[in-house]
Amino acid sequence: MGYFDVKFPRDSKFLVTGGAGFIGSNLCEAILNLGYKVICLDDLSTGRQENIAFLAKRDGYVFLRGDIKDFNTCMRACAGVDYVLHQAAWGSVPRSVKMPLFYEENNIKGTLNMMEAARRNGVKKFVYASSSSVYGDHPTLPKVEGQEGKLLSPYALTKRVCEEYGNLYFRLYGLKTYGLRYFNVFGRRQDPDGAYAAVIPKFIKMLLHGERPTINGDGRQSRDFTYIDNVIEANLKCCLAGDEAAGEAFNIAYGGREYLIDIYNDLCRALEVSIEPVFGPDRVGDIKHSNADISKARKYLGYAPDYDFRNGIKLAIDWYKENLR
Ligand code: NAD
């Protein structure tokens, strides 16, 4: 269970792209806690210095400020690296609908640069963040790898193209790539601010400040909200996975299903507030329901997530209570 018992060769060196972001900073911290070296590459476009400031003095930690759109930066970052955990990308479906050209450049070209740099540097494993958005409008629940529908946003397209490159790079060049289709990750250090913030941190912050959050749609949309530590486990287990899993993409979630309105009410109870939400229009590009079949990751990666939604949300609320200003 979990990732505390994963073992790599002693001087293993990891590169985490997007390491100043929510997921990346948690990966950097976990790798250092396990006793391995990590380079954090980030251009600080959506990530924050404060997410990684506390790592600065740790042995084996290096921060490289740079942009994955620049191939030479990717080459420099990959030198001497064993495992790449590629998280750098711009998230948010609605923002991608407004800025398709930037998403193409940043998420697709940036990922291709990273795969090519990893290949040229002889990286052992290349693990990269994909997304549940690749399922598009396919109606089946739970979502199963191999049953994808029509895409609903430029963001989803960038992730699907990255998966195609991931598969091609394995078949053509033998680079061992592993795509992780994250389902609504939440937990410590997820950004609560800005127009494109994820719902859980945003709701927690607004409720703690006595403000009324807006729920897009009727609140009856459901998601497989996934605690950050499950995502860390998946990334590290990919680095130990066999060749039969290379070139593939995997659902990474808990395998549960939570309705947004229920989460809202749970948060109000946990934070001891009574605030009515505002109901707004549905968001363009959103799917109504999403939850994951995680049997492929269980089988090929030995993924066995420790945290269900209830356990995860308790930890997340405690963290925000302590750390939010
Ligand atoms: P985040 O915005 O907190 O982190 C992304 C990081 O990448 C940021 O620190 C940003 O500064 C960096 N970055 C972006 N473009 C870059 C570039 N060109 N060069 C260097 N650094 C760059 O987002 P996150 O939630 O931590 O997401 C990490 C990854 O997981 C992303 O690829 C995202 O698409 C994917 N993902 C996240 C979720 C989720 O629920 N959080 C769900 C599905 C997929």
What pLDDT score was predicted for residue 325? 72
What's the gap between Cα 73 and its chain centre?
22
22-33 vs 228-238: helix axis angle to the nearest 10? 60
For residue 171, is it within any domain?
A: yes
Q: Is residue 193 part of a domain?
A: no
**Mean pLDDT within 293-303:** 98
Predicted confidence at residue 262, as pLDDT, reads: 96
Percent of the chain topping pLDDT 70: 99
Indicate the length of the chain as a whole number. Answer: 325
The pLDDT tens digits of the residues spanning 131-180 come to 999 999 999 999 999 999 999 999 999 999 999 999 999 999 999 999 99
Q: Exposed, middle or buried: residue 138 (CB in 10 Å: 0-12, 13-18, 19+)?
A: middle
| Mean residue pLDDT across the chain | 96
Closest ligand 1 atom to residue 47 Cα is 9
Q: What's the whole-model pTM score?
A: 0.97
User: For the chain, how many structural domains are there in total?
Assistant: 1
Rounded Cα distance between 218 and 211, Å, is 19
15, 16, 17, 22: which to mutate for ligand 1, most atoms within 8 A of CB?
22
Give how far the C-alpha of residue 236 lies from the chain's centroid of Cα atoms, to the nearest Å: 13
Question: How many Cβ atoms from other residues are within 10 Å of residue 275's Cβ?
Answer: 16
Average pLDDT over residues 55-83: 98
pLDDT tens per residue, range 70-115: 999 999 999 999 999 999 999 999 999 999 999 999 999 999 999 9
Q: Where are the alpha helices (DSSP H) in 79-184?
A: 93-98, 100-103, 110-120, 154-173
Question: What separation in angstroms does the CA of 49 have from each of 18, 55, 64, 65?
Answer: 11, 10, 12, 10
In a domain, 223, yes or no: no
Ligand 1: atom nearest CA of 86 is 32
> Does 79 reside within a domain?
yes
Domain carrying residue 110: 10-186+228-255+288-306
| Token duo for residue 106 | 């940043």
Cα(273) to ligand 1 centroid in Å equals 31
Instruction: Please give the pLDDT value at position 1.
Output: 61
Average pLDDT in the 298-315 region?
Answer: 97
Query: What is the full DSSP assignment across 235-279?
Result: HHHHTT--GGGTTEEEEES-S--EEHHHHHHHHHHHHT---PPEE
Residue nearest to atom 1 of ligand 1 (CA): 21
Contact criterion met (CB below 8 Å) for 206 and 267: no
- pLDDT confidence tier of residue 46, bands split at 50, 70 and 90: very high
Report the CATH number that the domain containing residue 67 is assigned in CATH.
Answer: 3.40.50.720
Is residue 155 annotated as a catalytic residue, yes or no? Answer: yes
**What confidence category does residue 5 fall into, taking pLDDT thresholds of 50, 70 and 90?**
confident
Q: What percent of the chain has pLDDT over 90?
A: 94
Distance (Å) from CA 21 to ligand 1 centroid: 6
Element (H, E) at 75: helix 71-78
325 vs 278, higher pLDDT: 278
B/e letters for 31-59, b = 16+ CB within 10 Å, e = fewer, are: bbebebbbbbbbbeebbbeebbeebeeee
Residue 282 lies in a domain: no
- Among 46, 67, 115, 223, which is best to mutate for testing ligand 1, by the most ligand atoms less than 8 A from CB? 46
Which one-letter DSSP state was computed for residue 289?
A: B
Q: Does the pLDDT at position 66 exceed 80?
A: yes
- Average pLDDT (187-211) is 94
